[in-house]
Structure 1
Amino acid sequence: MSRVYSNAVLITALSESDAGQVVRSSSSQPGLMTRMLEALDVHDGQRVLEIGTGTGYNAALLSHRLGDDQVFSVDVDGDLVDAARSRLAAIGYQPTLVTVDGAGGLPEHAPFDRIIATCSVPAVPWAWVEQTRPGGLILTDVKPAVNAGSLALLRRTDSGAEGRFDRTYAAFMGLRKQGEAYTSVSRPRDRSDAAERATTVAPETLQNLVVWFLAALDIGAGVSCGYTGSDPAQAPTAAWIATADQSWAEIDLEPDGGAYRVREGGPRPLWKTVENAHATWVQRDQPGWERFGLTVTRNSQWVWIDDPDGAHCWRIHT
C-alpha cells in the first residue's frame, strides 16, 4: 500500500516481445497527475476525454470533481478497460470507458471541453483537435522521438490548436495502437562505412533534454540511443545514436586532448545534427521548456521558440 501512495511511477502491466518484456501499462506519479489536472483547469459542467485509461485512477479523480457523467476515457487495451471499470464501479463511479485506439478520440461523444492524454504522441492527432470545443484545452505529452519532448497545453483555435510546453519535463509511455508490436532501432553491427572526426560537443549533451528535443525534431521518428563498450563487464566507453535508415553515430565518452572522437555512418551524419541543435540552443540563450510552443493545423504541426511566427521553427513530421 505504501508504494501506491508514494510519488513514483508504478508498472502495472507487462507484455512479451522479441525484445523481451516491455511495459504495457503504468500508473503515473501522483504528483504529475495532480500537476496535469491543475493545468487542465476544469470547471463544473465541463466534459473531459481522457486518452489512456490505465488503472482508472485519473478517471476516478475527474469523476469525483465533475461527476462521472462528464468523464470519458479510452484505452487500446480491453483488459485494462474492464479492470478499470470494475475498480471505478466498486467506489461508486461509472464514467464512460471505451476500448478503442486513442488516436481517434471518441467522436460519438464529442465535443469535449478538455482532452487529457496520459500517454505520449509523436504529433497531436487531428481528431483530438476536431473533438475539442472552441477555446477548449488539450494537454498531452508531445514527443517526436524517444525522450524528445514534454507536456504541451494547447488551446483550440479557429484554425487548429496552439500553446506552450510546461516548464517542467514529464514523460509518459507512447500511445499504442491495437495489435501494434514493440519495435526499436538497434545499433548497426556493420560499421565499416564509418567516417571519423573530432567534436567539442560532449556526449553528455544527449542528457540535455531540450537539446535532444531540438536534434530529434530534425532527425525525426525511429531513433534510438544508448551506451556501448568493448567489454560488457566494464563501464561503457561510448554513446551511440541510430535511426531506421541505418544512419548511426558513436562518440567516445572520454575526451582526447579536449575533443571527443566521433564515428558516423549511413546516409545522415547524426552527430552533426546534435551539434547543430546544441548551437541553436546556445544562440537562443539556452531556452527552457517554457519558451517552446506548438502550433497544430489540419495539415501541419510545428514547434517554435518564443514566437509562433518567428524564425526559429521546426516542423514535426506527421
Structure 2
Amino acid sequence: MTTDRSVPEQAGTSGLLRAVTHFLGHEVAPEWRRAAEATPRHLFLPDRIWIDDDLTPCDRQQEPERWFAAAYEDAPVVTQLNDGREPADLTDALPSSSASAPAIVFAMLELLDLAAGMRVLEIGTGTGFNAALLSHRLGDVNVTTVEIDPAVAEAARSNLKTAGYAPAVACGDGTLGWVPEAPYDRVIATCSVERIPYSWVSQTRPGGAVLAPWQNPWICGGLLRLTVEDHGTATGRFTPDSAFMLMRTQRRDLFLFRDVVMDEHVPDECTTALSPWAVADSAFETQFALGHRLGDLWYAWHHDPHLDDVDTRLWVSTTSGDSWAAVDWDGTQNTERYTVWQHGPRRVWEEVETAHAWWLDNGRPGPDRLGLTVTAEGQTAWLDDPENAWPLP
C-alpha cells in the first residue's frame, strides 16, 4: 500500500477526514483514519471526471488544481457517463459510475461493524477506493469485489495495484453475489437497489450482515442493514443516509409519454382533496415512507403542460406502465379540490390517498421506523415490527 505521501496528499486527506468527522458527528475510528491516510483518493480517479450537479467536465491535464481539489472534497465525483458512451451533448448525460462522497463511504464502513478476520463481499467496485479501504482494514485476502462493467473493473484493478492493494476483483453481475469466495461475514453494496438479491443473503454466514443503499420507485435514498439469521432469513431497519446510482440490472427503460400515456387512453375523471405537493414535494422522510408503502408507483412533475386551466400536473404510474393518474392544479390559491384523471386496471391515485392516510394514522413514520425482511420466497416491508408487515411487489 502507498506510504510515501506528498504534502498536498496529506493536506487533502486531512481536510477530507475533517469533513467526514463533521458529517458523522464524532471522530473517524482510528482503523479507518489509518486506512484513509494510507489510501490517497486521487489515485482512484480517472483523468476526466464530471463534478457538481450540472456534471461539469474536469480534465486533469487541463485543470490539475481543480481536478485535485475535487479528489479531496467531501462530494461524489462522476467517473463515467452513459455506461462508458459519453454523449456529445451533456444534456443527455446520465452518470453511470462514480466515486461516492467520502462521508457516506466512511459512514457505511462504520455500519459494517467489522472485526479482524472477517470476509467481505463488495457489490459495485467502481473506482476501487472502497475496496482499498476494506483491504487495508482486513487484508487483501479477505476482500472480494464485483463490478459489472468490464472497463470499470479493469480500471479499478489498476487503481488498486497503484495504491498497493490486491483484493479479488471479479467482473460479473453483482445480483448473483460471488459464489467462489462465499460465505462472507459482510456484504456491502455501493449501488442502490429496489430489491435485495437473495444471493446476498444466502452467501452470508448466519449472524452476518448485508448493507445496501436502498431506493423505491417513489424516491431515491435510504440505507438498509440486514442481519442474516440461521434459517436463511434477513431482517433489518432503514436509516435515511445515502443516495446512490441504481444497480444496472434493476434499471427500467420506462418513459412517461413513450411507454405509459397513450393517445388512445380515455381516463376517468374525479377530484381529490389531497394536494399533490403533500406526497411528491414533501420532506424526504415523508416520501420515503409513502414509497415504502406504495411499492411499485413512481411520479413525474409536468410544469406548464400547455393545457387550458392546468398550471401544473403530477403524473403517477405503475412501474409496469399499465395504470396511471394525473393530478391537475389550475394555478389558483387555496385550492380545496384537484382534478384527477385515471387510466388502467388500478386506481393509482386512490392508492396514493390510502398510503397518505396510513402515514398520518401511524404518526408520520420516517425511515427509522421502517424495515424489511428478506426470505427465499420474497420480501416484506414493515412498520415498527416485522409482524406488522406487507409484501413488496
In 1, Cα distance between the equivalents of 2:296 and 2:342? 19
* SS state at 2:305 partner: coil
Q: Are 1:12 and 2:12 matched, yes or no?
A: no
> Which aligned pairs between 1:49-198 and structure 2 lie closer than 5 A?
49-147=121-219, 150-159=222-231, 160-166=233-239, 168-177=240-249, 183-187=253-257, 188-190=261-263, 192-198=266-272
> Which aligned pairs between 1:231-250 and structure 2 lie closer than 5 A?
231=306, 237-243=312-318, 244-250=320-326
Deviates further, 104-113 or 16-25: 16-25
Matched AA of 1:186? L
In 2, Cα distance between the equivalents of 1:182 and 1:316? 17
Q: Is the 8 A contact 1:149 1:210 kept in 2?
A: no
Matched AA of 2:98? S
Q: Is the 8 A contact 1:227 1:238 kept in 2?
A: yes
After superposition, the Cα gap between the structure-2 partners of 1:265 and 1:185, relative to the gap in structure 1 and judged at 3 Å, is: same
Q: Is the 8 A contact 2:194 2:214 kept in 1?
A: yes
Q: Is the 8 A contact 1:186 1:224 kept in 2?
A: no
* SS state at 1:2 partner: helix
Matched AA of 1:7? D
Matched AA of 1:115? V
Task: Report the CA distance between 1:83 and its aligned residue.
Answer: 0.2
* Runs of 5+ unmatched residues, structure 2: 1-67
Task: Specify which structure has the higher proportion of strand.
Answer: 1
In 2, Cα distance between the equivalents of 1:222 and 1:264? 14
In 1, Cα distance between the equivalents of 2:158 and 2:220? 35
After superposition, the Cα gap between the structure-2 partners of 1:222 and 1:196, relative to the gap in structure 1 and judged at 3 Å, is: closer
Partner in structure 2 of residue 298 of structure 1: 376
Partner in structure 1 of residue 108 of structure 2: 36
Deviates further, 24-33 or 72-81: 24-33
Matched AA of 1:25? S
In 2, Cα distance between the equivalents of 1:169 and 1:206? 19
Using structure 2 for the length normalisation, give the TM-score: 0.72
> Which aligned pairs between 1:166-315 and structure 2 lie closer than 5 A?
166=239, 168-177=240-249, 183-187=253-257, 188-190=261-263, 192-208=266-282, 209-217=284-292, 219-221=294-296, 223-231=298-306, 237-243=312-318, 244-253=320-329, 254=331, 257-310=335-388, 313-315=389-391
Alpha-carbon deviations, 1:176-211, whole Å to 9, x = none? 23xx98612314143532423132334242134444
* SS state at 2:352 partner: helix
Q: Is the 8 A contact 1:154 1:163 kept in 2?
A: yes
Matched AA of 1:163? G
* Runs of 5+ unmatched residues, structure 1: none
In 1, Cα distance between the equivalents of 2:86 and 2:326? 27
* SS state at 1:308 partner: coil
Q: Is the 8 A contact 1:112 1:136 kept in 2?
A: yes
In 2, Cα distance between the equivalents of 1:119 and 1:127? 16
Deviates further, 93-102 or 239-248: 239-248
Task: Report the CA distance between 1:217 and its aligned residue.
Answer: 4.6
* SS state at 1:121 partner: coil
* SS state at 1:86 partner: helix
In 1, Cα distance between the equivalents of 2:358 and 2:346? 19
After superposition, the Cα gap between the structure-2 partners of 1:156 and 1:181, relative to the gap in structure 1 and judged at 3 Å, is: closer
In 2, Cα distance between the equivalents of 1:196 and 1:49? 51
Task: Report the CA distance between 1:225 and its aligned residue.
Answer: 2.3
The count of aligned residue pairs is 310
For the aligned residue pairs, the C-alpha RMSD in angstroms reads 2.6
Task: Report the CA distance between 1:214 and its aligned residue.
Answer: 4.6
In 2, Cα distance between the equivalents of 1:314 and 1:217? 10
Task: Report the CA distance between 1:236 and its aligned residue.
Answer: 6.4
Using structure 1 for the length normalisation, give the TM-score: 0.88
Matched AA of 1:195? E
Percent identity between the two aligned chains: 38
* SS state at 1:39 partner: helix
After superposition, the Cα gap between the structure-2 partners of 1:21 and 1:65, relative to the gap in structure 1 and judged at 3 Å, is: same
Task: Report the CA distance between 1:122 and its aligned residue.
Answer: 1.8
Alpha-carbon deviations, 1:71-91, whole Å to 9, x = none? 110011010010011011001
* SS state at 1:280 partner: helix
Report 1 or 2 for greater relative contact order, CA contacts < 8 Å, sequence distance ≥ 6.
Answer: 1
* SS state at 1:3 partner: helix
* SS state at 1:6 partner: coil
